[in-house]
Amino acid sequence: QVQLVESGGGSVQAGESLRLSCAASGYTYIKRCMGWFRQAPGKEREGVAAIYTGSGDTYYADSVRGRFTVSQENVKNTVYLQMNSLKPDDTAMYYCAAVSDGCGSLWYRKNFPYWGQGTQVTVSS
């Protein structure tokens, strides 16, 4: 059974950084789209960033481009989300998700069958 486990969330001040990790297990490492999503209370879920593990191509929402970086470490079957210059608006539960497909520019509309449990990020001003 495929499992995704996020870690690295926490509470920080505006301007600080966090790195989230998403460790995948339960299946052979294959080319897939790994996405990071977030959802704040009362708001819709937002696709934040994604990486296609086959090529390393990355995709970002306008709200985080230039501040967040998504990367992968194949030997550990892990994807990271480096978040710099955090803002209070970044406060949300962050989830990683996986689909055995390419990403593409509309990756956030894909049907991701595998999801992690989420990790909370809280940014105070």
102 CB neighbour count, 10 Å cutoff: 15
- What's the chain's length in residues? 125
Cβ atoms of 61 and 47 within 8 Å: the answer is yes
Residue-wise over 45-66: b if at least 16 C-beta within 10 A, else e?
A: eebbbbbbbeeeeebbbeebee
Per-residue model confidence (pLDDT) at position 1? 80
pLDDT one-digit tens code per residue, 49-99 = 999 998 999 999 999 999 999 999 988 889 999 999 999 999 999 999 999
What's the pLDDT at 59?
A: 98
Is residue 29 scored above 60 in pLDDT? Answer: no
Q: How far is the C-alpha of 125 from the C-alpha of 123, rounded, in Å?
A: 7
pLDDT of residue 60: 98
| CA-closest candidate to residue 115, choices 97, 101, 93 | 97
